[in-house]
Amino acid sequence: EYIRSSYFNKLEYTRFSSSVGKFVGFTERGVKIAADWNNDASFLSAMKAQKEAVCLHNVQIKYSNVLTKS
């Protein structure tokens, strides 16, 4: 799962989760920002593609390291 959180003054205001597939806002301002980002199809598809680019590549590396040590 790929998660991208945005913080301001130690307060999380938005989060993208690949399992949900969209941005979620946690503050009043964060809800507005999340709605704008969810309406931008190119930005939303780029965030969805991060799961394949970041997570799936590293899973194979970590999984092979665990198997060789077991």
Which pLDDT does position 14 carry in this prediction?
96
Domain locations in the chain as residue ranges: 3-68
Q: 3-68: which CATH topology? A: 3.10.320
The two most distant CA atoms of the chain are separated, in Å, by 48
pTM of the model: 0.73
Residue numbers of the chain with a pLDDT score lower than 50: none
Which pLDDT does position 58 carry in this prediction?
75
CB atoms < 10 A from the CB of 43, how many?
Answer: 14
Which pLDDT does position 53 carry in this prediction?
82
To 5 degrees, how large is the angle CA 19–CA 4–CA 61?
Answer: 75
Listed residue (48, 40, 42, 41) closest to 4, CA to CA: 48
Which pLDDT does position 54 carry in this prediction?
80
Which pLDDT does position 59 carry in this prediction?
72
Which pLDDT does position 65 carry in this prediction?
66
Token pair of 21 as six digits: 């597939």
